[in-house]
Structure 1
Amino acid sequence: MFPYILRRVATGVILAVLVTFITFWLLSFSFDGVVSNILGPAASTEAVVALKGQMGLDRPFLVQYFDWFFGMFRGDFGVSYFTSEPVAEAVMARLGVTLSIVFVALALTIVVSVALGVLAASRAGAVDRLAQGVSLLGLLLPNLLIAIFLVVVLAINLRLLPATGFVPFSESPSGWAASITIPVIVLVINGISNMASQIRGTMIGELRKDYVRTLRTRGVPTWSIVYKHALRNASAPALVVMSLEFLSMLGGTLIIENVFALPGFGVFAFNSAIQGDIPSILGITVFSVLLVVGVNLLTDLINGWLNPKARIH
């Protein structure tokens, strides 16, 4: 297992290097535009050339890239062109906001989706139709529409929750919970629509297998068959869906954070891309790749723990 972990970590580092190299190469075509954004639309050509030289953006492409690359391995991701904030600190602060929302949303999504999926697979009829209806509702309604509806009802009409803003957990746990409740609900509704149907389909396949019929003939209780045997064997594909849903939620926070004015990773990435903030874009790229690799690695490890046949040596 340990050599496998080392290989996956090495793969993640190589992938991060390749992605950042391509990203840096693509950004190199817009260096003049980045400098113009910093100086403003009225800047003269001479001013653009002068600032470009001061920032070192007139050096050869490979020299610039490897200068940034070796700095990254020392933990120096550079400084934002527009806020003068160290990129690593900026990314970690925003990522903490986003992950606090995504982790809560994912945990609730898993609990509700597993419950709906298992009930729908093991009990045909009204329960199955209800579970499929909930999944279909989440697919039909876009996140933006759900977010606006919840803000109008819960924040404006009922005044139960704040419409915008974020309160750090360290400042006020109750304020933090209130500030993330509506964003979490939006992500959970969308997540259930994707995950519950997948778990239902996987569980139906497991409950039709020969070992389930054998357990039934031996008088094993239905709850034990469903939860101790079928659900465990269905965990591998379910874990893949969960990991994909986690990454999907990370992408979905871009809209959520903009709607609710949350200082998260998605808004930071969007603003950095619009401004052409090269150090921030590169830092965001590295952290995103490593996050994806880490989630996939954790999924494989959990799968190996739940399913001995899938264990990796």
Structure 2
Amino acid sequence: MLRLFLHRLAVSVPLLVLVSAVTFILQALIPGDPARTLLGVNASQEQYLELRQALNLDAPFLTRYWDYLSGVLQGNLGESIFTSIPVITSVLQRLPVTLTLMAGSAILAAAIGIVLGVWSATRGRAVSKAVDALSMVGFALPNFWLGLVLVSIFAISLPIFPATGFTSFDDDPAAWLMCLVLPWAALALHGIAAIGKVTRDSMKTTLDMDYIRTLRAAGVKRRSLVWKHALKNSGVPVLTMTGLTMIHFLSGTVLVENVFALPGLGTLAVNSINNHDTPVTQGVVLTFTVLVIVVNLAVDMAYTVLNPKVRLS
């Protein structure tokens, strides 16, 4: 297992370098100039050139990228062009909000999706068709649109939850939970649909296997047969889909955080892109990439628990 972990970790290093290079190139291609944005339209040409030199924007592209990469290898992600706050500080301040949003949505999606999938696999065609319909709706509805609908219904028409904003758990746990219910729901629907469908299909295949018939003939109770034996042996595709769903949630947080005005990495990314704040954009993208790597590593480690053949290979 340790060898598998180290191998996956080593493969991830070139990915981080590639992502940083692509992000740097795309950021350079975006129309606009950070120096002009900082100074405004009334600044003189001399002020403009001085600021570009101070920000190292007049250096060749490859030189700027190498300077940035050298700093990253030393643990320095640079400073924001606009606020002069270290990028690592901004990322660490906002990371807990994004992780809370992603983790809560993943737990909600996995719990409801697995229950729906098992239920539809054991309760007949009517329930199975209902899960298919839910899957189609979940795949079709964009999470930002669903967020706006939820705000319109449950924050404006029925003022149950706050429409926007975020309260820290340390300040008020109840308010913290209330401000996250709608974002969790908006982000989780796609995951519920995907996990529910995969669980249903995998469970149906497992329940038709010979060893399940043998256990049933031996008098094993239905609840134990379904939840202990069949679900465990259906776990690999369900785990795969859960991991893919969590990665999908990372991109979804960018939109959902902006809809609900949550101070996470998603809103930080949008603001930095609009302001051409390249160091902050790079820091957010690298953080998202690291989170994707961590999710994939966690899924790989979980595979070894569900399927010993992976560990032996």
TM-score (norm 2): 0.92
Task: Give the Å deviation of 1:298.
Answer: 0.4
Following the alignment from structure 2 to structure 1, what is the Cα–Cα distance between the partners of residues 101 and 32?
A: 37
State how 1:85-104 maps to structure 2 within 5 Å: 85-104=85-104
Aligned to 1:265: 265
Aligned to 2:206: 206
Task: Give the Å deviation of 1:61.
Answer: 3.2
Deviations 1:68-120 (A, max 9, x none): 22322332111111222211111122221111111111111111111110111
Contact 1:138 1:193 in 2 (8 A): yes
Aligned to 2:305: 305
Following the alignment from structure 1 to structure 2, what is the Cα–Cα distance between the partners of residues 112 and 311?
A: 29
Deviates more, 1:5-14 or 1:195-204: 5-14
Deviates more, 1:112-121 or 1:269-278: 269-278
Distance change >3 Å, CA 28–CA 144, structure 1 → 2: closer
Unaligned runs of 5+ in 1: none
Following the alignment from structure 1 to structure 2, what is the Cα–Cα distance between the partners of residues 135 and 210?
A: 29
SS at structure 1 position matched to 2:285: helix
Aligned to 2:164: 164
Aligned to 2:221: 221
Q: How many residues align?
A: 313
TM-score (norm 1): 0.92
Task: Give the Å deviation of 1:18.
Answer: 2.0
Unaligned runs of 5+ in 2: none
Task: Give the Å deviation of 1:32.
Answer: 6.9
Deviates more, 1:265-274 or 1:65-74: 65-74
Distance change >3 Å, CA 30–CA 140, structure 1 → 2: closer
State how 1:55-134 maps to structure 2 within 5 Å: 55-134=55-134
Following the alignment from structure 2 to structure 1, what is the Cα–Cα distance between the partners of residues 290 and 149?
A: 35
Following the alignment from structure 2 to structure 1, what is the Cα–Cα distance between the partners of residues 278 and 42?
A: 22
Following the alignment from structure 1 to structure 2, what is the Cα–Cα distance between the partners of residues 158 and 29?
A: 45
Aligned to 2:231: 231
Following the alignment from structure 1 to structure 2, what is the Cα–Cα distance between the partners of residues 79 and 145?
A: 34
> Aligned Cα RMSD in Å?
2.1
Deviates more, 1:33-42 or 1:241-250: 33-42
Following the alignment from structure 1 to structure 2, what is the Cα–Cα distance between the partners of residues 54 and 84?
A: 13
Task: Give the Å deviation of 1:278.
Answer: 0.9
Distance change >3 Å, CA 148–CA 21, structure 1 → 2: closer
Aligned to 1:179: 179
Distance change >3 Å, CA 109–CA 30, structure 1 → 2: closer
Contact 1:4 1:312 in 2 (8 A): no
Deviations 1:26-85 (A, max 9, x none): 444569722222222344444332211111222333332232223223321111112222
Contact 2:250 2:288 in 1 (8 A): no
Deviations 1:110-143 (A, max 9, x none): 1111111011112214433333333333234332
Give % identity: 38
Following the alignment from structure 1 to structure 2, what is the Cα–Cα distance between the partners of residues 305 and 21?
A: 36
SS at structure 1 position matched to 2:117: helix
Contact 1:120 1:128 in 2 (8 A): yes
SS at structure 2 position matched to 1:311: helix
Following the alignment from structure 1 to structure 2, what is the Cα–Cα distance between the partners of residues 30 and 190?
A: 31
Distance change >3 Å, CA 294–CA 152, structure 1 → 2: same
Letter in 2 for 1:230: A
Letter in 2 for 1:244: L
Aligned to 2:282: 282
Q: Answer yes or no: is 1:20 the counterpart of 2:20.
A: yes
Following the alignment from structure 1 to structure 2, what is the Cα–Cα distance between the partners of residues 77 and 31?
A: 23
Task: Give the Å deviation of 1:3.
Answer: 2.1
Following the alignment from structure 1 to structure 2, what is the Cα–Cα distance between the partners of residues 122 and 134?
A: 17
Q: Answer yes or no: is 1:244 the counterpart of 2:244.
A: yes
Deviations 1:208-241 (A, max 9, x none): 2232233233333332222222211111111111
Letter in 2 for 1:196: G
Contact 1:32 1:48 in 2 (8 A): no
Aligned to 1:191: 191
Contact 1:32 1:52 in 2 (8 A): no
Distance change >3 Å, CA 260–CA 22, structure 1 → 2: closer
Task: Give the Å deviation of 1:173.
Answer: 0.9
Following the alignment from structure 2 to structure 1, what is the Cα–Cα distance between the partners of residues 146 and 279?
A: 34
